[in-house]
């Protein structure tokens, strides 16, 4: 244990002395946060509306759906899962959720329409106006309104102070910072050590391969947590984005996310022998994840066939778990599928690494 401690300390000092590498892995995500934090996006041409209804209300929805579609340029989606759609609303996947419930009272069929909106979304003012248009359209076109066959309710969700685009962006930038920091650093360390025969000299000492790898892992986890602390500080004191979820839960997810990309770095280091080859390969893997893992925009805005692939990216699971805890206050149990997926990716990379990695 003492050997691991001293070797970890030595690696940590070397990493901190490499100011260029450390600053780049920190400040690139920081630049992303600052740029997108001051970015004021306008509403998209088409608002995304999800209409949730039970099968029993299908005829009502089908016959009156055009009332919604004809109001303005919007995309309307049919759904049967309100909980899932509320989750999508909180994550920016849709702009408005319309829940239609059918009831039979005194032998009369009545319909209740509840509008779920998220005040933190930049499209909120347009959604608020859209809701008034929808209500007016129904009141104007339904002949049986006077018989109280339809009623409206509005649920406005979060306040603007609690949820905005920088709130959505912050967990993604943190996840990207962790990925970027650990992946490229571990690749450089392992391949450089192999190229310069440093590993051969290290293993002449009492330090074992296991102790060497554990020290590298601990070293990168410490640096990753330092980067996360700085990004969270900036998000809190400049953009007033406060983590809603438990800090211990955040720490667990961040540690798992870091382990995923440490394991990936070890795997790449086992199949590539030169840094010049490993870096383009690592970029080839990480760049699609950067833009397709939900960092800048929800997966639901991607084309269907791309979404089917992107949802299995390790960074997608990492961002989803982190975002749900950070801005939605979810528990570890609530993100158990993301955690299980990250553990699976760690196991896959470590198994491949065990087979292929040859430290000399």
Q: Examine the domain organization and report whether 182 and 211 are in the same domain.
A: yes
Query: Which DSSP helix (H) or strand (E) runs through 155?
Result: strand 150-155
Q: Examine the domain organization and report whether 217 and 345 are in the same domain.
A: yes
Residue 215 has pLDDT above 80, yes or no: yes
Which tens digit of pLDDT belongs to each residue from 156-189? Answer: 655 444 456 677 788 988 999 899 888 888 888 8
pLDDT at 145: 44
Which tens digit of pLDDT belongs to each residue from 5-53? Answer: 666 776 666 655 655 555 555 555 666 566 555 444 444 457 888 888 7
Which tens digit of pLDDT belongs to each residue from 186-205? Answer: 888 888 887 777 766 766 77
Q: Examine the domain organization and report whether 9 and 57 are in the same domain.
A: no
Q: Examine the domain organization and report whether 207 and 330 are in the same domain.
A: yes
Top pLDDT among 104 and 39 is at 104
Task: Give me the domain span that covers residue 303.
Answer: 2-38+164-356
Q: Examine the domain organization and report whether 109 and 132 are in the same domain.
A: yes
Q: Examine the domain organization and report whether 340 and 261 are in the same domain.
A: yes
- Partnered with residue 51 across adjacent β-strands are 78, 98
Q: Give the global pTM.
A: 0.63
Q: Examine the domain organization and report whether 320 and 233 are in the same domain.
A: yes
Kindly report the CATH number assigned to the domain that includes residue 121. 3.40.190.10
pLDDT at 259: 93
Q: Which two tokens stand for residue 317?
A: 């699971």
pLDDT at 42: 42
pLDDT at 194: 79
Q: Examine the domain organization and report whether 141 and 259 are in the same domain.
A: no
Q: Are strands 96-105 and 47-52 parallel, antiparallel or unpaired?
A: parallel
Q: Examine the domain organization and report whether 91 and 171 are in the same domain.
A: no
The count of domains in the chain is: 2
Pick the last residue of a domain from 107, 131, 155: 155
- Strands of 96-105's sheet, edge to edge? 74-79, 47-52, 96-105, 108-117, 150-155
Q: Examine the domain organization and report whether 65 and 194 are in the same domain.
A: no
Q: Examine the domain organization and report whether 225 and 275 are in the same domain.
A: yes
41: which DSSP letter? P
Pick the last residue of a domain from 110, 130, 155: 155
pLDDT at 268: 87
Pick the last residue of a domain from 155, 175, 203: 155
Q: Examine the domain organization and report whether 336 and 236 are in the same domain.
A: yes
Average pLDDT, the chain: 77
- Please give the full DSSP string across 133-153, using - where no structure is assigned: HHHHHHHHH-TTGGGT-EEEE
């Amino acid at each position: 244990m003492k050997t691991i401690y001293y070797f970890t300390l030595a690696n940590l000092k070397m990493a901190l002395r490499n100011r260029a590498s450390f600053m780049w892995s920190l400040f690139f995500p920081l630049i992303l946060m600052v740029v997108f934090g001051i970015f004021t996006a306008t509403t998209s041409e088409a608002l995304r509306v999800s209409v949730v209804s039970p099968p029993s209300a299908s005829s009502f929805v089908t016959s009156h759906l055009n009332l919604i579609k004809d109001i303005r340029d919007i995309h309307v989606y049919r759904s049967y899962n309100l909980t899932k759609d509320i989750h999508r609303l909180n994550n920016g996947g849709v702009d408005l959720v319309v829940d239609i419930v059918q009831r039979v009272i005194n032998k009369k069929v009545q319909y209740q329409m509840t509008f779920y909106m998220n005040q933190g979304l930049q499209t909120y003012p347009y959604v608020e106006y859209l809701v008034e248009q929808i209500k007016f359209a129904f009141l104007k076109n339904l002949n049986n309104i006077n018989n109280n066959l339809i009623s409206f309710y509005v649920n406005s969700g979060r306040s603007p102070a609690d949820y905005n685009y920088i709130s959505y962006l912050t967990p993604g930038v943190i996840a990207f910072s962790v990925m970027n920091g650990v992946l490229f650093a571990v690749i450089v360390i392992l391949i450089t050590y192999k190229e310069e025969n440093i590993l051969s000299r290290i293993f002449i000492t009492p330090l074992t391969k296991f102790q060497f790898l554990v020290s590298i892992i601990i070293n990168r986890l410490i640096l990753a947590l330092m980067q996360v602390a700085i990004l969270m500080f900036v998000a809190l004191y400049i953009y007033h984005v406060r983590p809603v979820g438990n800090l211990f839960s955040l720490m667990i997810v961040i540690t798992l996310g870091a382990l995923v990309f440490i394991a990936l770095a070890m795997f790449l280091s086992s199949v590539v022998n030169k840094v010049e080859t490993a870096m383009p390969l690592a970029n080839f893997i990480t760049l699609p994840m950067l833009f397709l893992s939900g960092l800048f925009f929800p997966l639901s805005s991607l084309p269907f066939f791309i979404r089917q692939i992107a949802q299995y990216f390790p960074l997608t699971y990492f961002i989803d778990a982190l975002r749900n805890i950070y801005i939605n206050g979810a528990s570890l149990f609530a993100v158990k599928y993301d955690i299980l997926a990250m553990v699976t990716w760690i196991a896959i990379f470590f198994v491949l690494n065990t087979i292929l990695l040859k430290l000399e």
